[in-house]
Amino acid sequence: MINAIFFDIGGTILDESREFETWADWFGVPRHTFSAVFGAVIARGLDYQETFRVFRADFDLAAERERRVAAGKPESFGEEDLYPDARACLTSLKDQGLFVGLAGNQPAHAETTLRALDLSVDVIGTSHGWGVEKPSSAFFERVIREGGGDASSVLYVGDRPDNDVRPAKAAGMKTCLIRRGPWGHILDMPAVAEQCLFRIDSLDELPSLVAQHNTARAAPDQTGAR
């Protein structure tokens, strides 16, 4: 049975469209141009930061974030950046009595901002706060510990087959791939996707799928055993 569910953050719970637009504005390039380069980088399986290096060869993410803060244009997100189906999904899963968490690669400011959104979650973990990032196995080992210690009872939900599904599966967790955002639409890895317990297009689908799965696993077999 599934007892705990963890969600990736960017691209799964959080729509990063506005964030990418602010980066395009920061570099002074048309948003359409930035998006096109971003898509090409993802399609080639490269680190997303290579997008920034197309426009600034010496780009360093940490240093650039400091420059943005100094210029009064820091990265930020809020309620308006949550996917419309995110809050209701989290609440519905909590109502089923499940342990619900968020765990993703996020910068220092993100954890405080996420907590301020008052989402229906039991734990919020970020790469900055945990000191380890996806797709490292140590990240997913931390997810398992936070979720009760039994990998087989933890479901990890993400939009990236490479950074989310594949390493979570390798750690022994159940997985769910949601098809949205740049990676969800561009990065096609059928062999990885086929190993998922669930594949969805919207978080609206997830609560009923989890409930059905757990009901089926809890039902006694023909011998009366569980």
CA pair distance 120, 90, nearest whole angstrom: 6
What total of structural domains would you count in the chain?
2
Q: Do residues 26 and 8 both lie within one domain?
A: no
Amino acid at 221: D
C-alpha closest to that of 11 among 75, 102, 97: 102
CA pair distance 202, 179, nearest whole angstrom: 8
Provide the domain limits for residue 179. Answer: 4-14+82-218
CA pair distance 183, 181, nearest whole angstrom: 6
- Residue 148 covered by a domain: yes
Q: Do residues 109 and 122 both lie within one domain?
A: yes
Report field, pTM of the whole predicted structure over 0.95: no
- The last residue of a domain, from among 70, 94, 115: 70
- Residue 224 covered by a domain: no
Q: Do residues 206 and 171 both lie within one domain?
A: yes
Q: Please answer whether residues 171 and 144 qualify as being in contact, where contact means their C-beta atoms are separated by less than 8 angstroms.
A: yes
- Residue 75 covered by a domain: no
Per-residue pLDDT of the chain (226 residues; tens, 9 = 90+): 999 999 999 999 999 999 999 999 999 999 999 999 999 999 998 989 999 999 999 999 889 999 999 999 988 899 999 999 999 999 999 999 999 999 999 988 899 999 999 999 999 999 999 999 999 999 999 999 999 999 999 999 999 999 999 999 999 999 999 999 899 889 889 999 999 999 999 999 999 999 999 999 887 654 444 4
CA pair distance 90, 10, nearest whole angstrom: 15
Q: Do residues 62 and 117 both lie within one domain?
A: no
- Residue 223 covered by a domain: no
pLDDT tens digits, one per residue of 95-134: 999 999 999 999 888 999 999 999 999 999 999 999 999 9
- Residue 226 covered by a domain: no
Q: Do residues 130 and 47 both lie within one domain?
A: no
